[in-house]
Amino acid sequence: MARASPEHGASKAEWRDWARATRRRLARDAAARAAADDRMRAHLGAWGAWRDARWALVYLPFGDECDPLAGAADEHGPRLATTRTGAGTGPLSVHVLDASALERHAFGFSQPRPDAPGVTLAEIDVVLVPGLAFDQHGGRLGYGRGLYDRLLGTLHASAQTVGVARRDLVVPKVPVEHHDVDVAWLLSEDGITRVRPR
């Protein structure tokens, strides 16, 4: 049974608990999860900004994160880059995505090896942004380390940022702070939509 989202004024910790529980619930239905990911891939592949991009910065899904990418990388789409996490809360670095040159991080997710060729942020046209939940204004509830907020804050102005989440994790408002960086678009199984300004 779905648990109602937290009340207005709830802490980020309460929101994260709710979002994690919601994602676990959604992940239990493997067929529905696969169908939602397939719909996201189709929406992404049909999106003009994706097809026109030279480079896209994508995340490698971990655990019960959405996987909008499999099958979206083809000769009609952008070249793909992904992030590498340094030690502690150090900045993310951006590297060419080569599935044959990945290593497992201590936390269990895949990332490029240290010697993977780098990509400059100036080259990135589209960014697929993971998160626990998003709101209709582009607010993002992240994992709490601020890594993506710091990265998003350094992109060039025309880069298109896309929050990726199942529809159940797109809510009217998530708690945001001054250092949190909004996304411009939301991708769910229902489509890809421009967020509403605050």
For 83-136, the pLDDT digits (tens) are 998 766 668 899 999 888 899 888 778 899 999 999 999 999 999 999 999 999
Take residue 10 and report the two structure tokens written for it: 């709830």
pTM, two decimals, is: 0.91
**Using an 8 Å Cβ cutoff, are 109 and 143 in contact?**
no
Inter-residue contact 19 to 141 (CB < 8 Å): yes
What is the pLDDT at residue 100? 85
> Residue 173: pLDDT above 60?
yes
Q: Is the pLDDT of residue 198 over 70?
A: no
**Measured in Å, how far apart are the chain's first and last C-alpha atoms?**
31
Going from the N-terminus, what domains does the chain have, and what CATH number goes with each? Answer: 12-194 (3.40.50.10420)
139-169 pLDDT tens trace = 999 887 778 888 998 899 999 999 999 999 9
- pLDDT for the residue 1: 53
Place of tokens 């996304």: 183
Q: Which residue has the higher pLDDT, 6 or 90?
A: 6
